């Protein structure tokens, strides 16, 4: 399980990288979907590319499988879990 600090850091980075200037970290729930109609954020495919860039630049991690990417980018919590699991390796 990812730390609360990492989850908060990711929320701030997502807001910055995606220029979501009207959002605050507290507006994003850790388990809330990042994409689709049930999402408060409602990211799109371009945003997914930006999230991939964020993962690579900030954490040195790449997503090589698009099916895996959908799961990893499902929520901030899932992104944080992916980072936590793969930075230990």
pLDDT in tens, 48-58: 999 999 999 99
Please tell me the total count of domains within the chain: 1
**pLDDT tens digits, one per residue of 40-89:** 888 999 999 999 999 999 999 999 888 899 899 999 999 999 999 998 65
Q: Write down the pTM of the prediction.
A: 0.90
CA atoms of 89 and 83, how far apart (whole Å): 10
pLDDT above 90 (res 6): yes
Q: Looking at the chain, list the stretches that DSSP marks H as alpha helix, in order from N- to C-terminal side.
A: 4-17, 45-59, 66-72, 76-88
Assigned token pair, 66? 């698009």
Range of the domain at 15: 4-88
The shares of helix, strand and coil residues in the chain, as percent rounded to the nearest 5, are 60, 0, 40
Q: How far is CA 64 from the centre of its chain?
A: 16
Q: What CATH number did the domain enclosing 53 receive?
A: 1.10.1200.10
């Amino acid at each position: 399980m990812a730390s609360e600090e990492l989850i908060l850091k990711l929320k701030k980075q997502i807001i910055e990288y995606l220029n979501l200037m009207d959002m605050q970290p507290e507006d994003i729930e850790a388990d809330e979907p990042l994409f689709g109609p049930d999402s408060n954020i409602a990211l799109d495919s371009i945003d997914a590319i930006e999230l991939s860039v964020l993962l690579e630049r900030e954490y040195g991690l790449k997503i090589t499988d698009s099916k895996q990417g959908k799961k990893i980018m499902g929520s901030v919590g899932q992104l944080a879990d992916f980072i936590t699991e793969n930075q230990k390796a």
